[in-house]
Structure 1
Amino acid sequence: MSSDPWGRVDETGTVYVRTAEGEQVVGSWQAGTPEEALAYFERKYEGLVVEIGLLERRVKTTDLSAKDAQIAIDHLRQQVDEHHAVGDLAALRERLDALVATVDKRREERKVQRAKQSDEARKSKEALVAEAEELAQSEQWRSAGERLRALVDTWKGLPRLDRKSDDELWHRFSHARSAFSKRRKAHFASLDAQREEARRTKERLVAEAEALSGSTDWGPTAASYRDLMAQWKAAGRAQREAEDDLWNRFRGAQDIFFAARSGVFAERDAEQGENLKLKEELAAEAEKLVPVTDLKAARAAFRSINERWEAVGHVPRDARPKVEGRMHAVERALQESEENEWRRTNPEARARAAGLTGQLQAAVDKLREQIDAARASGNNARADKLSRELEGRQALLDQALKGLEEFGG
């Protein structure tokens, strides 16, 4: 019989392992010596030690799932419990129990972690839904559409929740995207309708502009083009290709008209420039009549100059006030000379001036007599008052005498 601390072989070749519960039969060995039998079953034990060690490392250093770890533990525990090895089987059971505790702890940790991740995923998806529902009301079609597509990619990268919660949130998310798409589609459909209406309106405006391009009725036609331009701007934009083509035709028709008008106006401006030179010469000739020395001759000369002036024709609008003002100044000087002459030779006016002068002279003489009388009676206050009145009458008399002199004495 052979034995070691953890097992023995009896005379029949039966191999035993010692445990806390007593000896347990490991197996039967008939092929060799008892020592070889114990060595064989001790190697089986060492094999279990190696497998348990490998499993311990996997549990500690890899992401082995709790389920797979538990299956491996149960498999090894079954081998230990079947007593097919010689060694400290109780120690192996303790290590397996410790592994179970580690796996259970890992399971709880992962459960907490999954709950945390699920909560974070829920919050992230709720935030995506809230943003999507806000974007659904946006009219920033391009940027909002791009952002919604980015939100879909973000959603796909998040963990799934429980089916009910995930489906409810996805329904809201999908509904927001659909609502935005419907609004955008309706907007662009309306925009297309507006552009089509703008195209029809602008085709009509182009036809009117082209019909006016040959007109020589410069003022009214230019006004018509301004009105057409206002209508063009109010019509809005047509489709890009149609807009560019219609604008080129519209602008081209205007260019034809305004180029023709510019040519005519250039000729007119050249002619009016020559007219201006002639009128400036006539104005200079008229200005030589002032100051007036011979009214009759000056009036005849001015009539001659004015007749030539009227025959000259139009001058540039911006130069007209200045050159016409020079002629008007000469005409006013002639009128003032005529008025002065008339006043000087008018008998009725001379008589009125002489009568007024006589009345003022009589009043002045009377005041002087009253002043002398007041002084003689010692009434100086009255004399001073009458003296002040005399000053005013004397000033009027001096002015009347001066006016009478203009009538020749």
Structure 2
Amino acid sequence: MSSDPWGRVDETGTVYVRTADGEQVVGSWQAGTPEEALAYFERKYEGLVVEIGLLEKRVKTTDLSAKDAQTAIDHIREQVDAHHAVGDLDALKTRLDKLVETVGKRREERKQQRAKQSDEARHAKEALVTEAEELAQSDQWRAAGERLRSLVDTWKGLPRLDRKSDDELWHRFSHARSAFSKRRKAHFAQLDAQREEARKTKERLVAEAESLSGSTDWGLTAARYRELMSEWKAAGRAQREHEDDLWNRFRGAQDIFFAARSSVFAERDAEQSENLKLKEELAGEAEKLLPIGDLKGTRAAFRSINERWEAIGHVPRDARPKVEGRMHAVERALQDAEENEWRRTNPEARARAEGLTGQLQAAVDKLRGQIEQARAQGNNSKADKLERELEGRQALLDQALKGLQEFGG
């Protein structure tokens, strides 16, 4: 018979392990010496020790789910409870029990963390909705519109709430955006005629661009696309609700053509990378034109930059939206300034202002004559009344003259 502190082998070859509940049969060993039998089952115990140690480390240092951790604990516990190893099995059970406690704490912590994240997401979305509803009443069309688009991106990055709450908040959020869009559309209604013409021109350009997208005549087609781009820029802006869609189709058609050309001329990647550096420099040069002071000079400078831009050639496709977006932003600022200049120098508006000024000047002159006549006749009461009327007409005349100065006259 052979034994150690945790087990023994009797004369029949039966192996026992000592536990707090007394000796338990481990198994039968007939193939060798009792020492070999104990060594074999001690190795099984060491294997369980290693397995538990690894599981403890995974629970402590990884994102192992509570469900998977419990499954692993149950699997090891079955082996320990089966008493097929010689060693301190009670110590292993104690370690497993502590693991169960640890996993339970982790489960509760994660539950609380999810609840906290959900609460934070709710407050964040409520704040977005409140801001969106305030922006819906704003008259700062560009700034408010850009901020609303930023809020959408922020919303998309937040976790979803329960379906009912999320839908209710999204409905308010979406409604605020829609209300703002309707007000802005009404505000720019007077520009529809001009933008409708631009839309028709751009639809024609889009149709031609799409018809050319499958061409393999790289040189001529690329040149034609450059001409189409010049025509596009000269056409002005279409209605906002059409502009982006038309632009996406126009650029999409060119992307198809240039992507095909790029696949044929893959070796030009180095050249396109150099083009990107040049266009980034030009975009930086264009951005320095802002804010616009001298409109005529800025327009000429931008035209020069744009001519050099068009002469450079294409850039890597993945970099194109960013660098072109920078130029597009400067161009839109220039177009806005031109629209403001056009409104300021509108000959019809100037004619109306001059007509009004002339009428008011005539009325002021007439009142002055009537006042002099009344004073001469000794009718001071009538003269005083006419003096008060003159003050009102003179104030209107001063205001009209000030408005006329804005037309450069």
Short-chain TM bin? 0.3 to 0.5
* TM-score, normalisation: structure 1: 0.46
Larger Rg: 1
